[in-house]
Chains A and B, each alone.
Chain A
Amino acid sequence: MNSDFDRQHSESIEPAASTSAAIESNSRVQDRRKFLFRLSIAINAAIGLLVATPVVRFLLGPLRPKGSYDHWIPLGKIADYQPGTTILATYRNPITNPWDGETGNVACYVRRQTDGNFTVFAVNCAHLGCPVRWFPQSQLFLCPCHGGAYYADGSRAAGPPERGLFTYASRIDGEMLMIQAGQLPTLANQARLRTPGDCPGRSSASKSDFHLVKEIAPCVKAPNGGTNEPTIG
């Protein structure tokens, strides 16, 4: 048993400590051992810190400077999108691993107004990220999770969302529709300061819109609460 072992160990030391000189040398030995014990702990702490640093850096790997995940992605030819329609478009995320499979694909809603302007909405509900579904008949985006509803221009219609649908920055490059995307749209990267009245159906091409801020500015409701441009009836 361990206690036997300890007893044998201590018994073997005690007889040696009979003379005062031996006691003194023994206490010196013990002091030295205490010091070495503390030193071993300190060395291990230092080595541990040294080894932990790259581990922490590795674990923080997904962190990148703001916006560096975003890229301009072609979303097909402009001619593919009929004016006055909203359709589901898909693209491959610019940053993927070979084993991502279908999860590397991303869907978005492209709305082309009759005046030719494009708005590209994320499918992720602004409430908790569930995929909203577009109903062209009633001109609504409906969320299946908690019942968020959005008008055709992406503004909030009903339900728990605090704001309208997330949008991607878009521009037209020759014949191609380009959007700036690359990360899951959430309140953290999509909440941005907006000037009142600039909310529904605003053009997303202007650069000044893309100062990312940590604050949700509620969108002032347009005088007409519904879609400003019906595409049916």
Chain B
Amino acid sequence: MRQSSKRWYERTYDWIESRVQLADFVRDSAAHPVPAKTASWWYVFGSASFVLLILQIITGVLLATIYVPSAGQAWDSLQVLNHQLPLGWFLRAMHGWGSNFMVAVVLVHMAQVFLFGAYKFPRELTWLLGVGLLLMTLGMAFSGQILRFDQDAYWGLGIGASITSRVPFVGGEMVHLMLGGPIIAGATLSRFFALHVFVLPATMLAFAGLHVWLVLKLGINEWPTPGRLVRRETYIKEYHELTHRNGVPFVPQAVWKDAMFAAAIIFAVAFCAAVFGPFGPTGTPDPTITQTVPRPDYFFLWIYSALAFLPPSVETPLIFIAPVIGIGALIALPFISGVGEKSWYRRPVGVLTLIVIAVGLATLTHLGTYAPWSPHMNAWTMDEIPARYIRNGTPLERQGALIFKVKQCHNCHALGGLGGQRGPALDSVATRLTEDQIIRQVIQGGGNMPAYGAALSPPEVTALVAFLDTLHPPNQRPATDASRSIAETDKPAPNEPVESTRP
């Protein structure tokens, strides 16, 4: 027989191929022509996102072989992964760093697609699927942070529940649905586990598959040229000419850059995992431990920061209206500007919008890393008052420095760069406020400072103010009330009759 001349694996291949009949499709897809200029390093972020999704699925499945989605034991199972199983820590670190990289690469991919005008006709649906993939990536990041089920996860859920409770009319019911019961507990973890492990990954794979299918069917976006406008009537024809006259086959002309970048990204994830290790878990998820300072993971710090700056009066409306506007804008984008100019040279508003959003997110994220609006809960016991502020002080002033520590003033006010940043640093407070003003501020509070009138005895106030009044640069005199000094110098001598009573 002729077939017998073939080797066994060739026969196996033929047997399968004659049934699934995928070879033509794969060959056509690989060889499909792409515009020559798109074989660029700018076009590698989409494939890198997909590679990271696959990496997350593989490491996630491996973690799931050990992880226990039970509120009472999840934390312990992470300890076992971190400390007892060989390289369990490395897998956790790969999954954690993989998620960080994935969020970052997806955002870069989105920015690139926006800058290159790739969302325009006929790729509107590709963009919409991408928006869904972005939201699901963030959903995976949030639910993944919850599965770490430590104190940050617990109180992150608390913040989520508090936000949900502000929904008008049905807020309370939505909180119970989100938590799976009256409190954050086992049912909460289980439903986020189901979301993180089944619902979101399956939906993401379906979306990503369709996303890639559309890229294959519609072709990769051509490199934008200023002046070459997208028109619904002519675009498909123009693109066809671009690919078939000057195009290059995707494999191998363009794909090698995707493959190189994918390898680099995977290596970067592994490198970070090996060097920096896994994320947490922080303390046990015990809600009776109030000695905790919850912080969200890196990619949600900007939300955490934004929530610190919203004025109370508009906070609730903004929390619900802003995401609708934001997501609505992303969805509306390809329909509002579906045709026309693609080049960033001719889209100043688009470029400016992207820069403003990027700078805004980066600034909020940076602020979130040190949270100047939060009191430093341990500053009053941990941070020192610089010795030069106390040296040569009178006993009263030193007593005042002690009051400054004991009454937690240091938690909100920095001295010598140490302490909280909630309130102004007090290194030169005496040049800004007179003694009377300091007393008033301490006792009555105001300007977002609590009143300490009831928490301080009069001698304590005297001592504290005596200390604060020493806080000024050596070459700068403390602020004084001019009228008061005049009043004091104008005081009549004991024997002298008062001016007004003179005849």
Question: A139 to B186, alpha carbons, bound, how many Å?
Answer: 35
Stretch from A75-83, A93-101, A169-177 contacting the other chain: A93-101
Which single residue of chain A is at the shortest CB-CB distance from B444? A225
Q: Closest Cβ of chain B: how far from A166's Cβ, in Å?
A: 11
CB-CB under 8 A from B73, the residues of chain A are 99, 101
CB interface residues, B 268-292, toward A, < 8 Å: 284-292
A144→B292 contact, CB < 8 A: yes
B168→A214 contact, CB < 8 A: yes
| Interface membership of chain A positions 64-97, coded 1 if the CB is closer than 8 angstroms to chain B and 0 otherwise | 1010010000000000000000001010010111
B186→A88 contact, CB < 8 A: no
**Interface assignment of A110: CB less than 8 Å from any CB of chain B:** no
CB interface residues, A 154-182, toward B, < 8 Å: 157-162, 182
A137, A143, A145: residue with the most chain B Cβ atoms closer than 10 Å: A145
**Interface assignment of B187: CB less than 8 Å from any CB of chain A:** yes
**Interface assignment of A228: CB less than 8 Å from any CB of chain B:** yes
A103→B454 contact, CB < 8 A: no
Question: A112 to B107, alpha carbons, bound, how many Å?
Answer: 52
**Interface assignment of A1: CB less than 8 Å from any CB of chain B:** yes
A157→B451 contact, CB < 8 A: yes
B452→A129 contact, CB < 8 A: no
A158→B161 contact, CB < 8 A: no
Q: Closest Cβ of chain A: how far from B454's Cβ, in Å?
A: 4
Of A129, A130, A161, A182, the contact of B312 (CB 8 Å cutoff): A161
Stretch from A17-25, A30-38, A45-53, A120-128 contacting the other chain: A120-128
A138, A149, A157: residue with the most chain B Cβ atoms closer than 10 Å: A138
For chain A, the bracket of interface size reads 35 or more
B163, B175, B176, B454: residue with the most chain A Cβ atoms closer than 10 Å: B454
CB-CB under 8 A from B453, the residues of chain A are 224-226
| Interface membership of chain B positions 168-182, coded 1 if the CB is closer than 8 angstroms to chain A and 0 otherwise | 110111011101111
Which single residue of chain B is at the shortest CB-CB distance from A229? B454
A62→B179 contact, CB < 8 A: yes
Question: A152 to B290, alpha carbons, bound, how many Å?
Answer: 17
B158→A128 contact, CB < 8 A: yes
A sample of 23 inter-chain contacts (CB < 8 A) reads A62-B176, A62-B187, A63-B177, A64-B176, A99-B73, A101-B72, A102-B285, A102-B287, A129-B155, A130-B159, A133-B290, A137-B406, A142-B408, A147-B412, A151-B450, A183-B176, A184-B179, A189-B172, A225-B444, A225-B451, A226-B455, A227-B454, A233-B457
CB-CB under 8 A from A161, the residues of chain B are 312
The residues of A with any CB-CB pair to B shorter than 8 Å are 1, 59-60, 62-64, 66, 69, 88, 90, 93, 95-97, 99-107, 123-124, 127-135, 137-140, 142-147, 149, 151-152, 157-162, 182-184, 186-189, 214, 224-230, 232-233
Question: A162 to B412, alpha carbons, bound, how many Å?
Answer: 20
**Interface assignment of B33: CB less than 8 Å from any CB of chain A:** no
- Residues of B in contact (CB 8 Å), total 75
With A63-B176, A140-B408, A233-B456: A186-B161 Cβ-Cβ less than 8 Å? yes
CB-CB under 8 A from A159, the residues of chain B are 448
With A103-B184, A144-B294: A184-B377 Cβ-Cβ less than 8 Å? no
A137→B185 contact, CB < 8 A: no
Question: A159 to B286, alpha carbons, bound, how many Å?
Answer: 26
B375→A186 contact, CB < 8 A: no
Of B72, B184, B373, the contact of A146 (CB 8 Å cutoff): B373
Question: A128 to B157, alpha carbons, bound, how many Å?
Answer: 10
With A69-B182, A157-B450, A189-B172: A130-B294 Cβ-Cβ less than 8 Å? yes
CB-CB under 8 A from A160, the residues of chain B are 307-308, 310, 312, 315
**Interface assignment of B71: CB less than 8 Å from any CB of chain A:** yes
- Sample of 5 more A-B contacts, CB < 8 Å, known A147-B374, A224-B454: A93-B182, A100-B186, A124-B158, A214-B169, A226-B453
Q: Closest Cβ of chain B: how far from A181's Cβ, in Å?
A: 9
- Interface SS of chain A: helix, strand, loop or mixed? loop
A128→B307 contact, CB < 8 A: yes
A131→B287 contact, CB < 8 A: yes
Question: A160 to B154, alpha carbons, bound, how many Å?
Answer: 21
CB-CB under 8 A from A227, the residues of chain B are 454-455
Question: A88 to B448, alpha carbons, bound, how many Å?
Answer: 26
CB-CB under 8 A from A134, the residues of chain B are 290
CB-CB under 8 A from B186, the residues of chain A are 96-97, 99-101, 103
B159→A106 contact, CB < 8 A: no
A93→B185 contact, CB < 8 A: yes
Q: Closest Cβ of chain B: how far from A185's Cβ, in Å?
A: 9
Q: Closest Cβ of chain A: how far from B44's Cβ, in Å?
A: 35
Which single residue of chain B is at the shortest CB-CB distance from A90? B288
A129→B448 contact, CB < 8 A: no
B73, B161, B169: residue with the most chain A Cβ atoms closer than 10 Å: B161
Of A96, A144, A182, A214, the contact of B374 (CB 8 Å cutoff): A144
CB-CB under 8 A from B155, the residues of chain A are 129-131, 145
With A147-B308, A187-B171, A227-B454: A157-B287 Cβ-Cβ less than 8 Å? no
**Interface assignment of B231: CB less than 8 Å from any CB of chain A:** no
**Interface assignment of B407: CB less than 8 Å from any CB of chain A:** yes
Q: Closest Cβ of chain B: how far from A66's Cβ, in Å?
A: 7
**Interface assignment of B398: CB less than 8 Å from any CB of chain A:** no
Question: A87 to B195, alpha carbons, bound, how many Å?
Answer: 38
Which single residue of chain A is at the shortest CB-CB distance from B284? A102
Question: A63 to B377, alpha carbons, bound, how many Å?
Answer: 37
**Interface assignment of B3: CB less than 8 Å from any CB of chain A:** no
Question: A121 to B155, alpha carbons, bound, how many Å?
Answer: 18
Question: A186 to B161, alpha carbons, bound, how many Å?
Answer: 8
A99→B454 contact, CB < 8 A: no
With A103-B285, A142-B411, A160-B310: A147-B373 Cβ-Cβ less than 8 Å? yes
CB-CB under 8 A from A66, the residues of chain B are 172
CB-CB under 8 A from B406, the residues of chain A are 137
| Interface membership of chain B positions 330-374, coded 1 if the CB is closer than 8 angstroms to chain A and 0 otherwise | 000000000000000000000000000000000000000000011
Question: A62 to B161, alpha carbons, bound, how many Å?
Answer: 14
A99→B71 contact, CB < 8 A: yes
With A102-B72, A107-B288: A135-B408 Cβ-Cβ less than 8 Å? yes
Q: Closest Cβ of chain B: how far from A227's Cβ, in Å?
A: 4
CB-CB under 8 A from B290, the residues of chain A are 88, 107, 123, 131-134
A183→B183 contact, CB < 8 A: yes
Question: A183 to B177, alpha carbons, bound, how many Å?
Answer: 13
Question: A137 to B408, alpha carbons, bound, how many Å?
Answer: 8
With A103-B287, A123-B290, A214-B169: A138-B185 Cβ-Cβ less than 8 Å? no
A63, A129, A131, A184: residue with the most chain B Cβ atoms closer than 10 Å: A184
Q: Closest Cβ of chain B: how far from A106's Cβ, in Å?
A: 6
